[in-house]
């Protein structure tokens, strides 16, 4: 089965009890265990819920993993996956990960004694150099946020494997439709399902997929024990979103290609960052590990005033955080997703006050071009 078909026929297209084509929303906290001499699959809804199970099996199938788990947010998925480690353990993380992941590692997990070293994962050798005796995992994100830098997942996972480290990949920007990290050597794949998987800017949700059943048991122990689970209605929205992922993402990606090329020609635009552009420095590696460039790109105006005027004037792009929805979103990383990173560190990473990140929606490309050109004029 091809992925586009698997999005629809993941094993949950009909409810065995009723024949319903939609996955039922099991709005219940507990389950009658009846005859206590018999093993029951469900007992309490933090531990398991049939609606959640449908989503967890779907994402595991899409990523080609052994087990999938759903969480109340992308950050809940990341904190729960990292929850398999212990105080005194160390991980090597990409330097330009999602701002919330940066904050999680630098505040919460630092207090709980999980150390990390941030490196530029553009060169896998930087990972090797950062490995310590207590290193347990490598945490990667590609394309990176917000500068769309590319990390070679195969090469980094190979370095991790040499010393028995786990490779964890945040695959939110690509989705399993465009990139499947487990096939490239990853052990855990994370999603903010809030973004492309949900796809309609109407739900906060997260997922984690483990390559093996054994690793899945460790993450399940955190899901159940730490308890950062989603409710069944939110899960249902993600299940519904996933069914249209292919048509949405392909259309949004096409528009991102058109818009990024047009912006590059604009006199007020300093640079455009998109792995779909021929001269993107990571294009060859990206093309070798992903089947498309995605629907997120960023650009820098020449001055801060131009960036602020663009955000204040643009009509069809909401000036907001988040990405992957049906509506175009223009975000301003220095004030939004990366506001928690100290200014000096931000500047070093190239996240300047002229940088705008775009997630293209399903509007007509022609309208977006006209709108963007007007906002830049
Ligand atoms: C949004 C996002 C997250 C966090 O997900 P939430 O659902 O907002 O908790 C993590 N990683 C990436 C790449 C994201 O874009």
CATH of 245-376, one of 2.60.40.1930, 3.30.465.10, 3.40.309.10, 3.90.1150.10: 3.90.1150.10
Write out pLDDT tens, residues 262-271: 999 999 999 9
98 lines ligand 1 (CB under 6 A): yes
Using CA atoms, how far residue 182 sits from 66, 249, 257, in Å, is: 10, 21, 27
H helical segments located in 18-142? 50-63, 74-82, 99-103, 109-111, 124-130
The whole-number average pLDDT for the span 89-104 is: 93
Mean pLDDT over 154-182 rounds to 98
Residues of the chain with CATH 3.90.1150.10: 245-376
Is 46 catalytic? The answer is: yes
Q: Kindly give the number of the ligand 1 atom that is closest to the alpha carbon of 172.
A: 13
Q: Hey, whose CA ends up nearest to atom 4 of ligand 1?
A: 74
Which residues of the chain does CATH 3.40.640.10 include?
Answer: 3-243
Query: Is 195 one of the annotated active-site residues of the chain?
Result: yes
- For residue range 34-58, what is the model confidence (pLDDT) as tens digits? 888 988 999 999 999 999 999 999 9
Tens digits of residue pLDDT in 122-163: 999 999 999 999 999 999 999 998 999 999 999 999 999 999
Contact 302, 270 (CB under 8 A): yes
CATH number for region 3-243: 3.40.640.10
What value does the mean pLDDT take over residues 162-169?
Answer: 97
Give, for ligand 1, the residue of 192, 329, 338, 357 to mutate: max count of ligand atoms closer than 8 Å to Cβ. 192
Residue 272, Cβ neighbours under 10 Å: how many?
A: 22
Tens of pLDDT, residue by residue over 185-234, are 999 999 999 999 999 999 999 999 999 999 999 999 999 999 999 999 99
Q: Over pLDDT 90: what percentage of the chain? A: 89
Active site residue 170: yes
> pTM here?
0.97
Asked whether residue 338 carries a pLDDT value surpassing 90, the answer given is no
Structure tokens at 44: 């309490």
| Tens digit of each residue's pLDDT (9 = 90 or more) over 63-84 | 999 999 999 999 999 999 999 9
> Do 278 and 257 contact (CB within 8 A), yes or no?
no
pLDDT tens-digit map of 283-315: 999 999 999 999 999 999 999 999 999 999 999
With 90 as the cut, is the pLDDT of residue 12 above it? no
What average pLDDT does the chain have? Answer: 96
Residues 79 and 108: their CA atoms lie apart, in Å, by 9
Neighbours of 87 (CB within 10 A): 10
What's the pLDDT score for residue 268? 97
State yes or no: pLDDT of 176 exceeds 80. yes
CA–CA gap between residue 296 and residue 302 (Å, rounded): 20
Of these residues, 52, 136, 180, 195, which one is catalytic?
A: 195
Mean pLDDT along residues 355-368? 98
**Counting beta carbons within 10 angstroms of the beta carbon of residue 1, is it exposed (0 to 12), middle (13 to 18) or buried (19 or more)?**
exposed
Average pLDDT over residues 100-108: 94
């Amino acid at each position: 089965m091809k992925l586009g078909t698997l999005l629809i026929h993941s094993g949950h297209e009909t409810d065995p009890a009723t024949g319903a084509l939609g996955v039922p929303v099991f709005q219940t906290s507990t389950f009658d265990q009846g005859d206590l001499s018999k093993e029951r699959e469900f007992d309490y809804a933090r531990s398991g819920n049939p609606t959640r199970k449908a989503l967890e099996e779907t994402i595991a199938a899409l990523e080609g993993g052994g087990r999938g788990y759903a969480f109340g947010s992308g950050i809940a998925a990341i904190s729960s996956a990292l929850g398999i480690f212990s105080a005194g353990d160390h991980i090597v993380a990409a330097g330009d990960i999602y701002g919330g992941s940066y904050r999680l590692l630098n505040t919460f997990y630092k207090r709980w004694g999980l150390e990390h070293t941030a490196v530029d994962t553009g060169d896998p050798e930087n990972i090797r150099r950062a490995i310590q005796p207590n290193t347990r995992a490598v945490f990667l994100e590609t394309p990176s946020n917000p500068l769309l830098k590319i990390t070679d997942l195969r090469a980094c996972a190979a370095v991790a494997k040499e010393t028995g480290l786990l490779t964890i990949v945040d695959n939110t920007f690509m989705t399993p439709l465009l990139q499947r990290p487990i096939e490239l050597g990853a052990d855990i794949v994370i999603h903010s399902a809030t973004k492309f998987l949900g796809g309609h800017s109407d739900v906060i949700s997260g997922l984690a997929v483990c390559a093996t059943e054994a690793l899945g048991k460790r993450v399940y122990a955190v899901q159940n024990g730490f308890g950062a689970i989603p409710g069944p209605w939110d899960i249902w929205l993600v299940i519904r979103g996933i069914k249209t992922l292919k048509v949405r993402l392909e259309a949004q990606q096409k528009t991102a290609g058109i818009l990024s090329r047009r912006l590059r020609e604009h006199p007020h635009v300093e640079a455009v960052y998109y792995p779909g552009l021929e001269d993107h420095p990571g294009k060859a590696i990206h093309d070798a590990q992903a089947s498309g460039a995605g629907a997120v790109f960023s650009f820098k105006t020449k001055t801060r005033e131009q960036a602020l005027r663009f955000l204040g004037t643009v009509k069809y792009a909401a000036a907001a955080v988040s990405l992957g929805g049906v509506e175009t979103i223009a975000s301003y990383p220095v004030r939004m997703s990366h506001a928690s990173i100290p200014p000096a560190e931000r500047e070093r990473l190239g996240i300047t006050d002229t940088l705008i990140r775009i997630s293209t929606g399903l509007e007509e490309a022609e309208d977006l071009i006209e709108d963007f050109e007007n906002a830049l004029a």
